């Protein structure tokens, strides 16, 4: 039986990534194995901003090379293949693999949103604290009177596009199959809650694998009502 694991890769804390993809896959498989009995083919999809304006990003290239080196993972039992785990970067819809989404990692100018400043209580130099200046940069530009520089002149950042939506679309696509395979989402991002609930409502066996034990389950009651099983990595 096939089962799918959809990993919001950039949301995975460093302590779970530092051992490499194979180690992460084994950790996830160990958690899910008793919950999804009979899964002999496990398909892992990694979601992230894998493409920039020039093609596959450096991180995307590294991940692709690591997948080629370490997968598939074969688990043997009594000398026979018990399970096979494959891994791939999610760069297209699972049902339309030839239509690659380019430009999912983009450079932007400015700052993401206006900031509200509050001087940290443990600041070692309150008189020289620059927190307020950073907040003013985010709202109006340079805090120096008369300076025409804007936040778009001074700051740049990178952002991922389409990633969360792609994961949600794949989750619902898998849930709509007949029969629907078990599907698990590895993420602490609450943005996936509506898609998880809808997938469960469609009749799929759905698991949410959380990685931060101290993270509050904001939608725990809803997950329980819809039979989305929540486990910790």
3-state secondary structure of 109: strand
Distance, in Å, from the CA atom of 43 to the CA atom of 157, rounded to the nearest integer, reads 32
Grade residue 203 by pLDDT with cuts at 50, 70 and 90.
very high
Task: Select the more confidently predicted residue: 50 or 75.
Answer: 50
Helix, coil or strand: residue 162: coil
Q: Residues in the chain, how many? A: 233
Beta bridge partners of 186: 7, 209
Does the pLDDT at position 196 exceed 90? yes
What sign results for the dihedral spanned by CA atoms 8, 9, 13, 19?
positive
| 103 bridge partner residues | none
Q: Are 231 and 31 in contact (CB under 8 A)?
A: yes
The yes-or-no verdict on residue 210 having pLDDT over 60 is yes
Tens digits of residue pLDDT in 116-160: 877 788 888 877 888 888 888 888 888 888 888 888 888 877 788
**Burial class for 16, CB neighbours closer than 10 Å (0-12, 13-18, 19+):** middle
Q: Domains of the chain by range and CATH?
A: 2-106+159-232 (3.40.50), 112-154 (no CATH)
Burial of 87 (0-12, 13-18, 19+ CB in 10 A): buried
Does the CA dihedral 118-121-122-125 come out positive or negative?
A: positive
Six-digit token string for 233: 């990595």
Average pLDDT over the chain, rounded to whole?
A: 90
pLDDT over threshold 90, residue 204:
yes
Question: Is the separation of the CB atoms in 124 and 131 below 8 Å?
Answer: no
The pLDDT, as a whole number, for residue 213 is 63
Higher pLDDT, 53 or 69: 69
- Asked whether the beta carbons of 72 and 86 are under 8 A apart, the reply is yes
Long-range contacts of 142-145 (CB under 8 A, 24+ apart): none
**Mean pLDDT highest for which of 21-30, 34-43, 117-126, 130-139?**
21-30
d(CA 30, CA 77): 15
């Amino acid at each position: 039986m096939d089962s799918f694991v959809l990993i919001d890769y950039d949301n995975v804390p460093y302590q779970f990534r530092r051992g490499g993809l194979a180690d992460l896959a084994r950790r996830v498989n160990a958690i899910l194995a008793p919950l999804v009995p009979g899964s002999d083919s496990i398909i892992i999809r990694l979601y992230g901003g894998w493409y920039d304006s020039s093609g596959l990003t450096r991180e995307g290239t590294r991940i692709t090379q690591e997948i080629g080196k370490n997968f598939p993972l074969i688990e043997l039992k009594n000398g026979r293949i018990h399970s096979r785990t494959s891994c791939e970067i999610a760069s297209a819809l699972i049902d339309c693999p030839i239509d690659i989404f380019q430009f999912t990692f983009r450079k932007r100018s400015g700052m993401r949103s206006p900031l509200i400043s509050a001087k940290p209580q443990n600041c070692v130099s309150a008189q020289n604290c620059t927190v307020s200046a950073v907040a003013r940069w985010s709202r109006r530009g340079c805090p120096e009177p008369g300076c025409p520089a804007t936040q778009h002149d001074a700051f740049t950042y990178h952002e991922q596009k389409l990633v969360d939506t792609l994961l949600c679309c794949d989750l619902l696509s898998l849930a709509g199959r007949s029969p629907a395979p078990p599907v698990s989402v590895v993420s602490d991002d609450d943005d996936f809650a509506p898609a998880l609930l809808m997938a469960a409502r469609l009749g799929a066996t759905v698991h949410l694998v959380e990685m931060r034990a101290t993270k509050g389950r904001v939608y725990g009651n809803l997950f329980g009502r819809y039979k989305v099983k929540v486990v910790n990595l």
